[in-house]
Amino acid sequence: MAQKRTLLNNRALAWLVGFLLNAYGQLFLITSRLRIEADPEVERLVREQRVPVIYALWHSHVFFVPLFRTYERRAVSVLLSAHRDAQIVGVAARLRGIHLVFGSSTRGGAKAYLQLLSVLQRGESVVMTPDGPKGPAKRVKSGVIRLAQQSGCAVVPVALGCSRLHRLKSWDRSLLPLPFSKAVFQLGEPLYCPAEAPLEPLQQQLEVAIQATVARAADRVN
């Protein structure tokens, strides 16, 4: 573990690994058949009205974050853990034109929250993994709901279905898509969070919505 931490602290090595991760993502896109399917309300908000939204996907799907830039056709910001491992993902995201906000529930959370709120207020969508950075997997934490309540922005559940993939041995069993796949990037029905509504029911609603989007994406691949 000590050797791993030393390697990750090497900025040059982190950039190299991030560059390779980005190259692998490009290989996946070039060799695969990808469809983007969005709920009509998402299309209205994002494409017609050009208003910002909060995209929510499980941490296990974080590899697909660059696809938000493809869908929006404009800049988006991603909340990324301040952990060293995330720096590598950050390199790959930057190479795809993604803006980064660093923080988590345990490191820099308050500062990151204010940054995300500022991003939404200036009209730019944000991407969050509500079960990250350390889980429990597929359980929505309160931060994404609080942000939606304060900003007034809708939360859009997102998932990707892929015909060929590998699951990493991480806490969330992250998905690594394999080249020459059929893939569907699914954006589900937006969830609105009234400012005075209690948090827990909305967290449960979002969990159900993301899981339903995961299932729909998997079905649409077949």
Sorted by sequence, the CB contacts under 8 Å of residue 215 that are 6+ apart come out as none
Q: Closest Cα partner for 25 from 160, 176, 182?
A: 176
pLDDT of residue 3: 47
pLDDT of residue 200: 96
Q: What is the three-class DSSP state of 128?
A: strand
pLDDT of residue 127: 94
Q: How confident is the model at residue 142 (pLDDT cuts 50, 70, 90)?
A: very high
pLDDT of residue 117: 94
How many Å apart are CA 96 and CA 90, to the nearest integer? 10
Does the structure show a pLDDT above 60 at 84?
Answer: no
Query: The pTM is what?
Result: 0.90
**What amino acid occupies position 186?**
Q
pLDDT of residue 85: 58
Residues 44-49: contacts with CB under 8 Å, at least 24 apart = 45/154, 45/190, 46/71, 46/72, 46/125
